[in-house]
């Protein structure tokens, strides 16, 4: 189905657009906390590989359906060009939709790689043909993407990637092992970093590819975590094929593509809309008699400072002002905010944090369990600090 025609879309002012978006969500989206709320559907944490598979399939189906509804309503990919399935509208319209979306019991987080990282990479380094091929199925909710970056010997130090792509007739043959891959089992495609040059060439020997996940040379094994649950996968590539058109950027340009990908990932995580918990926590502290506890007050103040700083930074970025090392700075603030809020929630709730079916603690337990992962995913806090120091402040390595 084509996106609805909207002759006034580009002339539409912010308030007018906001009102139109709000009205659509009010008519179509479940409320937060209602029985139909699926805003946490992306937090898949299962006890067995079978449960993990079933939960992932459910999460992706719900997300596909919602993304398709956004697309049909003309609210998906607002700033993407028409030939990529979008509307060519100003970028602030994407922010308006994301802000409204965060208020409702809905989520497109399972599609984060496709909606955020893939366009950043393809607009920065891809060809017009790649954009026209890969982007429309994402915006229509048909294709989900994941990232094949980390390896057992290459996490923070991605220059050590060993997975190798060798030229074969019509494209590339890929062999190696990836780890910590989120959503591998429910994605049609992945952004892959592989070595096409010599190991000694480090960064210069890397290239980026779009690889199909549902092919015989790709084996996905769910990883059992220390908690006993499953969230990630190992991915074994054994002669997996990438056609020539799957090379993104030039041969050996993988490091530049990776920098674009990671910057967009960090900006996407840091620009996330869940860092809004300080006020909620103040209410909870008052209700449960912890408002005078100096430890709680300190944590809440620290969380509120990060929340406010994030808001101000986002406003500067949205207004087009230069913010040095914007992605790493917002990602680091976001991760610190999550840790401080989780610590405050644990102190306020006490033993109730261990009771998963308690209505007061349940919404906090998910955030509590997710906070440590935020310090690592998309690059660890230490790596963000290094990047801020070197690229933001111009300090020596």
* Catalytic residue numbers, as ranges: 265
How far is residue 363's CA from residue 356's CA, in Å, rounded to a whole number?
A: 9
The span from the CA of 232 to the CA of 223, in Å, is: 6
Shorter beta-carbon distance to ligand FAD: residue 94 or 151: 151
Q: Cβ neighbours of residue 282 under 8 Å, at least 6 residues apart?
A: 291, 300
Sorted by sequence, the CB contacts under 8 Å of residue 196 that are 6+ apart come out as: 164, 165, 172, 205, 206, 207, 251, 252, 254
- Left, alpha or beta for 102 (phi > 0: left; psi -120 to 50: alpha)? alpha
Q: Which 180-219 residues touch ligand FAD, going by CB under 6 A?
A: 180-182
Which of 358, 390 has the CB closer to ligand FAD? 390
Q: Which is nearer to ligand FAD, 322 or 396 (CB)?
A: 396
Among the listed ranges 53-61, 95-103, 354-362, 378-386, the one in contact with ligand FAD (CB under 6 A) is: 378-386
The answer to whether 382 contacts ligand FAD (rule: CB under 6 A) is: yes
- Between 88 and 373, CB nearer to ligand FAD: 373
Instruction: Give me the least distance between CB of 265 and ligand FAD, in Å please.
Output: 9
Rounded Cα–Cα distance for residues 252 and 165 (Å): 11
| Residue nearest ligand FAD (C-beta atom) | 155
Quick one: 235 or 313, whose CB is closer to ligand FAD? 235
Measured distance CA(53)–CA(222) in Å, rounded: 9
Size of the site for ligand FAD (CB under 6 A): 18
Residues between 317 and 376 that touch ligand FAD (CB under 6 A): 373, 376
Least distance in angstroms from the C-beta of 295 to ligand FAD: 26
Residue 344: partners with Cβ closer than 8 Å, 6 or more residues away? 281, 285, 296, 299, 300, 303
DSSP, residue by residue, 106-156: ---GGGHIIIIIHHHHHHHH--HHHHHHHHHHHHTT---EEEE--BTTBSS
Count of other CB atoms within 10 angstroms of residue 12: 17
Three-state DSSP state, 85 = coil
Minimum CB separation of residue 2 from ligand FAD in Å reads 33
- Min dist CB 107 to ligand FAD, Å, is 16
Q: Is residue 62 classed exposed, middle or buried when 0-12, 13-18 and 19+ CB atoms within 10 A define those classes?
A: middle
CB of 352 to ligand FAD, least distance (A): 25
* Closest CB 296 distance from ligand FAD, rounded Å: 27
Name which of residues 127 to 186 contact ligand FAD (CB under 6 A). Answer: 146-150, 155-156, 180-182
Indicate the residue among 146 and 237 with the shorter CB distance to ligand FAD: 146
Give DSSP secondary structure letters for 253-268: -HHHHHHHHHHHHHHH
Among 114, 205, 254, 379, binds ligand FAD (CB under 6 A): 379
- Rounded to a whole number of angstroms, the minimum distance from the CB of residue 235 to ligand FAD is 9
Measure the CA–CA gap between 146 and 188, rounded to whole angstroms.
8
Which one, 79 or 177, has the nearer CB to ligand FAD? 177
Site for ligand FAD in 7-66 (CB under 6 A): none
Residues 259-288 that bind ligand FAD (CB under 6 A): none
Binding site for ligand FAD (CB under 6 A): 146-150, 155-156, 180-182, 373, 376-377, 379-380, 382-383, 386
């Amino acid at each position: 189905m084509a996106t609805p025609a909207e002759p006034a879309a580009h002339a539409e002012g912010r308030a007018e657009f906001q009102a139109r978006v709000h009205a659509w969500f009010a008519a179509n989206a479940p409320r937060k906390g209602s029985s139909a709320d699926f805003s946490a559907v992306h937090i898949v944490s299962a006890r067995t590989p079978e449960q993990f598979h079933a939960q992932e399939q459910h999460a992706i189906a719900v997300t596909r359906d919602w993304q398709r509804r956004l697309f049909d309503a003309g609210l998906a990919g607002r700033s993407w060009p028409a030939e990529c399935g979008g509307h060519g509208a100003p970028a602030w319209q994407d922010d308006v939709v994301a802000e409204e979306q965060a208020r409702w019991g809905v989520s497109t987080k399972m599609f984060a790689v496709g909606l955020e990282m893939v366009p950043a990479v393809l607009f920065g380094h891809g060809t017009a043909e790649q954009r026209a091929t890969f982007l429309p199925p994402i915006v229509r909710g048909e294709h989900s993407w994941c990232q094949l970056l980390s390896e057992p010997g290459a996490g923070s130090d991605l220059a050590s990637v060993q997975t190798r792509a060798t030229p074969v007739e019509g494209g590339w043959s890929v062999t190696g092992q990836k780890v910590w891959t989120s959503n591998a089992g429910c994605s049609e495609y992945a952004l892959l970093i592989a070595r096409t040059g010599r190991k000694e060439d480090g960064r210069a020997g890397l290239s980026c590819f779009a690889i199909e996940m549902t092919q015989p040379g790709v084996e996905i094994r769910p990883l059992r975590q220390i908690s006993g649950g499953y969230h990630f996968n190992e991915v074994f590539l054994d002669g997996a094929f990438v056609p020539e058109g799957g090379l993104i950027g030039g041969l050996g340009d993988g490091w530049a593509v990776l920098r674009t990908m990671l910057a967009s990932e960090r900006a996407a995580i840091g620009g996330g809309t869940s860092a809004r918990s300080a006020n909620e926590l103040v209410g909870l502290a008052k209700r449960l008699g912890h408002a005078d506890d100096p430890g709680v007050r300190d944590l809440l103040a620290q969380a509120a400072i990060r929340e406010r700083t994030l808001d101000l930074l986002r406003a500067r970025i949205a207004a087009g002002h230069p913010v040095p090392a914007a992605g790493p700075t917002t990602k680091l603030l976001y991760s610190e905010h999550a840790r401080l809020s989780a610590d405050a929630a644990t102190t306020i709730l006490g033993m109730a944090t261990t009771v998963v079916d308690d209505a007061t603690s349940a919404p906090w337990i998910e955030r509590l369990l997710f906070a440590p992962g935020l310090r690592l995913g998309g690059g660890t806090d230490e790596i963000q600090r290094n990047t801020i120091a070197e690229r933001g402040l111009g300090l020596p390595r």
